[in-house]
Amino acid sequence: MSNSKLAIGADIGGTHITAALIDPEGKSIVPSSVKRKNVNAAGSADEIIRSWADCISEARRDKEVESICLAIPGPFDYESGISLITGQAKYENLYKLNIKDLLGASLNFPVQSIFLENDAACFLQGEVFSGAAGKYAKETVIGITLGTGLGSAVYRMGTSKDGDMWRWPFKEGIAEDYICTRWFVKRWKELTGESVNGVREILESDSPKRKADELFAEFNSNLSGFLFDFIANESPATIVIGGNISRAFDWFGPTLTSIINAKHPTIKIERAILGEEAPLAGAVGSWLQNQKSSPVLPDN
């Protein structure tokens, strides 16, 4: 570990928080510091903030940190720290509250040193910062997370931003309807009559392999159609794919790459390698980039 000051990276999920100490100079997580805590997303604001603060404190221990950086889902006013999450059956009691103020008070930490960014943007920033897309840091990269929902982000000129593609009109609904866990669960039930909770159970199923092949072929058709639109908008050098469904990359990745490369032979498809650590590193990487781009105000 380098001698630079440490930062805290934290990833806010729908049911948990993961936090760790990050060495910004070495672009690495302090392994022994990684902590994970379940969160009742339907709880009161005090309960939620206390859960987050407890996890961050456990990760921090007695170390001096320069910033606390959170990767958190939207909608959110990230600069001001105001939660705009509503109608999503999670964190409803944080709506229109200032998370920076609440967390700062709970941790006795300077509010101005708390940084918030979109979780999908942090995922991609992390993979460029210290993961699968490190060699594309000077190019345009798009990233998607495939899981309970569909996350998307665009990296360009050192900074990742939320792509907000989950709600794009797609087929008879929106993109997320066809490219997430609930699509797999619903379609598998239609194909086999078998009820499952996720992709892992499908891969472990005793149903004929041809059914899984059929399912993933349809998924690749959906995913590639979505990606072609994304590519047309952003002209990336590479695409990074993460999220829980990416664990099944061996089932769909090679075919997806062939489909994409038939139209765009130079675009690389990279599987994310940092897992849950990506948004932690990415939150800190986004904070560092924000520090570089912020104007320096003259002393009075």
Instruction: Give residues with Cβ within 8 angstroms of 252, minimum separation 6.
Output: 216, 219, 220, 223
DSSP structure class, residue 229 = H
The two three-digit tokens of residue 52, written as one number = 């987050």
Reply yes or no: is the peptide bond before residue 110 cis, omega within 30 of 0: no
**Helix or strand (DSSP H, E) at 176:** helix 175-178
- On the question of pLDDT at 1 being above 60, the answer is no
Q: Where are the domains of the chain?
A: 6-117, 132-271
Which of the following CATH numbers is that of domain 132-271: 3.20.20.450, 3.30.420.40, 3.40.50.720, 3.55.40.20? 3.30.420.40
How far is it, in rounded angstroms, from Cα 188 to Cα 197?
10
Residue linked to tokens 């309970």: 148
pLDDT at position 149 is: 85
Which of 90, 240, 243 shows the shortest CA–CA distance to 181?
243
pLDDT in tens, 251-287: 999 999 999 999 999 999 999 999 888 999 999 999 9
pLDDT in tens, 26-53: 788 998 999 999 999 999 999 999 999 9
Matching CATH topology for 6-117 and 132-271?
yes
**Cα 46 from chain centroid (whole Å):** 25
pLDDT in tens, 199-231: 999 999 999 999 999 999 999 999 999 999 999
Q: For residues 144 and 271, is the Cβ–Cβ distance under 8 A?
A: no
- On the question of pLDDT at 25 being above 90, the answer is no
Q: For residues 143 and 127, is the Cβ–Cβ distance under 8 A?
A: yes
Which of 196, 202, 294, 188 shows the shortest CA–CA distance to 247?
202
pLDDT in tens, 61-96: 989 999 999 999 888 999 999 999 998 888 999 999
Residue 40 is which amino acid?
A: N
The two three-digit tokens of residue 28, written as one number = 């690495």
> Other CB atoms closer than 10 Å to residue 60's CB: what's the count?
21
Measured on CA atoms in the order 239, 244, 249, 255, is the torsion positive or negative? negative
Which of 136, 121, 1 shows the shortest CA–CA distance to 70?
121
How far is it, in rounded angstroms, from Cα 107 to Cα 100?
10
How far is it, in rounded angstroms, from Cα 160 to Cα 132?
15
> Other CB atoms closer than 10 Å to residue 236's CB: what's the count?
23
7 band by pLDDT with thresholds 50, 70 and 90: very high
Q: Does domain 6-117 have CATH number 3.30.420.40?
A: yes
Residue linked to tokens 């469904």: 245
111 band by pLDDT with thresholds 50, 70 and 90: very high
**What is the average per-residue pLDDT within 119-148?**
93
Give the N- to C-terminal CA distance of the chain in Å, as an integer: 37
The two three-digit tokens of residue 278, written as one number = 């990506």
